[in-house]
Amino acid sequence: MTSAAISPTAVAELRAALRGPVVVPGDPTYDEVAPVHNAAITTRPQAIARCVDAADVMAAVTFARGLDGVDVAVRGGGHNGAGLGASDGLVIDLGLISGIRIDPAARLAYVGGGATVADLDHAAGAFGLATPAGIIGTTGIGGLTLGGGHGHLSRKYGLTIDNLVAADVVLADASFLTTDAGREPDLFWALRGGGGNFGIVTEFVLRLHPVGVVAAGPTLYPIERTEEILQWYRELLPILPREMGAFFATMSVPPADPFPAELHLKKVCGVAWCWAGESGGADEHLAEARAMNPLLDGVAEMPYPVWNSAFDALYGPGDQWYWRGDFLRDIPDEAVAVHDEYSRRLPTWKSTMHLYSIDGAVHDVGPDETAWAYRDATYSEVIAGVDPDPVSLPALRDWCVSYWEAQHPYSAGGGYVNFMMNEGQDRVRATYGSHYDRLAVIKAMYDPNNFFHVNQNIEPDRSITLPGPRVSAAQRQGAGR
Ligand SMILES: Cc1cc2nc3c(=O)[nH]c(=O)nc-3n(C[C@H](O)[C@H](O)[C@H](O)COP(=O)(O)OP(=O)(O)OC[C@H]3O[C@@H](n4cnc5c(N)ncnc54)[C@H](O)[C@@H]3O)c2cc1C
């Protein structure tokens, strides 16, 4: 343990200050609420402040500021692969702040900072509305959005941050503000990709779009055809309309319904499709995929929330995860050969490699409009070793790291902050690229003492002077924090 002890007296003070429960080891709910999604993360907090509103979050931050040497983690959905929603000190847990209000006329969702993707899909889906977010329902909107957020609808509607209209934030000094394009614009810029570095978002306001029934599902091919299918996918993607979400994957067929028994556990490659256009419009764009003799054509019409939770049972809590990612601008034949080699060696049946397409509407946003630094990339790649058995962890890590190292020379340099383990400061810098310095300046304004450091950390830097009126305006505003 690296954190100093939190005394029983301090816990009693925290309990008195919060309306939500404070859970400590030995409490009946501790074993249920302490773990994060990745079971390989065994760090357990001394206290979990289960906040129910912004007032609780302000009280928890005030309390935490009075502690010496105690790591404070902020938890949204607890899905972060590196375990950034965990610490051995205090966890400020937003999971109970999961309420969502939809304004269907304005097409806006007011989303609690601890809500999940499934919460949002459920609330917005009732109105035939949705916004791009992750492909697994249990993922937290909090960490996902602050890191960028991509999913089935991103080709049509961009990243989750491209749909962020405003955010309520509790800062490191426990004060509260609302930020949007006009209010605290530098903070608003930094929140859109800069992760949990700048404050605790208690509410996200997200723009919604009409999304009702989609034509979605996979077309799957034998793993031995990875080279051929990936080369075909690479050529197809630029000519697919934005209405068609399409990510490439290598995986094993899950041993469960609705997959045919003869395919169970068979290693495959393929594309997961999501047509969010006119009903019946998908078929012409799927014609080639279908003509290539797939082992399985699982594309069918269904409500969007059904497709966006289709992988939930496969990747429930309790599995060991080790993953790494990279952004790719293109996939040269040499990289295709790497994918071919490592996909044949998937170490366990839950292990997988996904290439999420981040083109289309993601490219409509300028490279410097948000903190997200790779608008010119075409793919966000994740290589994930996954298995329920802790004994598998070294093999998952070895496969993942050697796969990642083999393909990295063909990457754009950095990777998606939400697909990183604790890979060191150089990797964080590579991920933010030319935006890192501006983020470090904004960090110094809003969190000068690096209170929020259990994250892919951007270190505050007061020594950098950046040109541009917006930064200096915020610098003035932040003075004295
Ligand atoms: C099975 C699985 C599938 C995934 N699929 C996708 C996908 O399709 N698309 C995609 O973009 N990503 C995906 N991800 C990655 C996901 O975006 C990250 O793991 C993300 O960090 C999860 O957010 P969380 O709130 O659940 O995480 P947590 O572990 O709770 O938090 C992660 C980080 O965000 C911070 N944070 C969380 N909420 C807040 C908040 N409200 N205010 C301030 N800081 C906060 C935390 O402090 C921490 O640093 C997936 C992850 C998993 C495990």
Q: What is the DSSP string of 74-97?
A: EESSS--TT-TT--SSEEEE-TT-
Q: What is the pLDDT of residues 168-179, one digit of tens each?
A: 999 999 999 999
For residue 480, pLDDT over 80 is answered with no
In sequence order, the β-bridge partners of residue 49 are 22, 92
Atom 32 of ligand 1, residue of closest alpha carbon: 143
Q: How far apart are CA 71 and CA 50, in angstroms?
A: 16
Ligand 1 centre to CA of 235 (Å) is 31
> Crossing angle for the helix pair 8-17 and 54-65, nearest 10 degrees?
150
| Strand ranges for 187-243 from DSSP E | 200-207, 209-210, 213-222
- Give the DSSP letter of residue 250: E
Regarding the beta carbon of 167 and ligand 1, being less than 6 Å apart is answered: no
Could you read off the pLDDT of 278-304 as tens digits, one per residue?
Answer: 999 999 999 999 999 999 999 999 999
Encode pLDDT of 24-53 as tens digits: 999 999 999 999 999 999 999 999 999 999
Which numeric CATH code is attached to 12-93? Answer: 3.30.43.10
Q: Which of 274, 380, 418 to mutate to test the pocket of ligand 1 (most atoms within 8 A of CB)?
A: 418
In sequence order, the 6+-apart residues with CB closer than 8 A to the CB of 348 are: 385, 386, 387, 392, 395, 396
Ligand 1 centre to CA of 136 (Å) is: 11
CATH of the domain spanning 213-427: 3.40.462.20
Q: What is the pLDDT of residue 477?
A: 47
Nearest Cα residue to 186 out of 169, 174, 202: 169
111 ligand 1 Cβ < 6 A: no
Q: Which of 131-135, 233-237, 434-438, 466-470 has the lowest mean pLDDT?
A: 466-470
Structure tokens at 445: 């304004």
C-beta of residue 196 within 8 angstroms of C-beta of residue 167 = no
Indicate which residue's Cα is closest to atom 19 of ligand 1.
Answer: 80
Pocket test for ligand 1, best of 33, 74, 90, 98 (most atoms within 8 A of CB): 74
Question: How far from the centroid of its chain's Cα atoms is residue 55's Cα?
Answer: 26
143 lines ligand 1 (CB under 6 A): yes
With a 6 Å cutoff on the Cβ, whether 164 touches ligand 1 is no
Output 67 or 481, whichever has higher pLDDT. Answer: 67
- The CA angle 343-344-350, to the nearest 5 degrees, is 60
Provide the pLDDT for residue 294: 98
Q: What is the Cα 5 distance to its own chain's centre? A: 31
- Output the CA 314–ligand 1 centroid distance in Å: 18
Closest by CA position to 229, among listed 208, 256, 251, 257: 251
Which two structure tokens, joined as six digits, stand for 231? 């080369």
Q: Is 339 in the pocket of ligand 1 (CB under 6 A)?
A: no
The size of the chain, in residues, is 481
- pLDDT level of residue 218 (50, 70, 90 thresholds): very high
Q: Report whether pLDDT(425) > 80.
A: yes
Of the candidates 145, 47, 33, the one whose C-alpha atom is nearest the C-alpha of residue 78 is: 33
Question: How many A from CA of 416 to the centre of ligand 1?
Answer: 11
Q: Are 374 and 384 in contact (CB under 8 A)?
A: no
Residue 86 Cα: closest atom of ligand 1: 29
Q: With bands split at pLDDT 50, 70 and 90, how would you rate the model's confidence at 243?
A: very high
Cβ of residue 134 lying under 6 Å from some atom of ligand 1 = yes
**pLDDT of 473 strictly over 50:** no
- pLDDT of residue 97 exceeding 80: yes
Q: Is the pLDDT of residue 95 over 90?
A: yes
139 lines ligand 1 (CB under 6 A): yes
Nearest ligand 1 atom, CA 418: 18
> Given this model, what pLDDT does residue 466 score?
74
Q: Report the residue among 36, 121, 144, 396 best suited for mutation to probe ligand 1: largest number of ligand atoms under 8 A from its CB.
A: 144
- Predicted local distance difference test score (pLDDT) of residue 467: 67
Average pLDDT of the chain to the nearest whole number: 96
In this structure, the residue with its CA closest to atom 13 of ligand 1 is: 134
Question: Cβ(140) to ligand 1 under 6 A?
Answer: yes
What pLDDT, in 10s, does the model give residues 154-166? 999 999 999 999 9
Alpha-carbon distance of 425 to 459, in angstroms, equals 9
C-beta of 350 in contact with ligand 1 (< 6 A): no
141 CA from centroid of ligand 1 (Å): 7
DSSP assignment of 111-152, as one string?
EETT-BHHHHHHHHHTTTEE----SSTTSBHHHHHHH----T
In this predicted structure, the answer to whether residue 230 has a pLDDT above a threshold of 60 is yes
CA–centroid distance for 187 within its chain: 19
- Angle between the 393-407 and 333-344 helix axes, to the nearest 10 degrees? 170
- Supply the pLDDT for residue 1: 60
Q: How confident is the model at residue 479 (pLDDT cuts 50, 70, 90)?
A: very low
Whether 468 has a pLDDT exceeding 80, the answer reads no
Domain boundaries, the chain: 12-93, 213-427
Supply the DSSP string of 294-326, one letter for each residue.
-SEE--EEEEHHHHTTTTTTTT-TT-EEEEEEE
pLDDT score of 463: 86
Rounded-to-integer distance, Cα 76 and Cα 92, Å: 9
Contact 320, 392 (CB under 8 A): yes
> What does the pLDDT average to over 361-369?
98
152 CB within 6 A, ligand 1: no
State whether the beta carbon of 415 lies less than 6 angstroms from ligand 1: no
Q: How far is the CA of 30 from the centre of ligand 1 (A)?
A: 21
Q: Is 418 in the pocket of ligand 1 (CB under 6 A)?
A: yes
Ligand 1 center to 35 CA (angstroms): 15
pLDDT of residue 252: 98
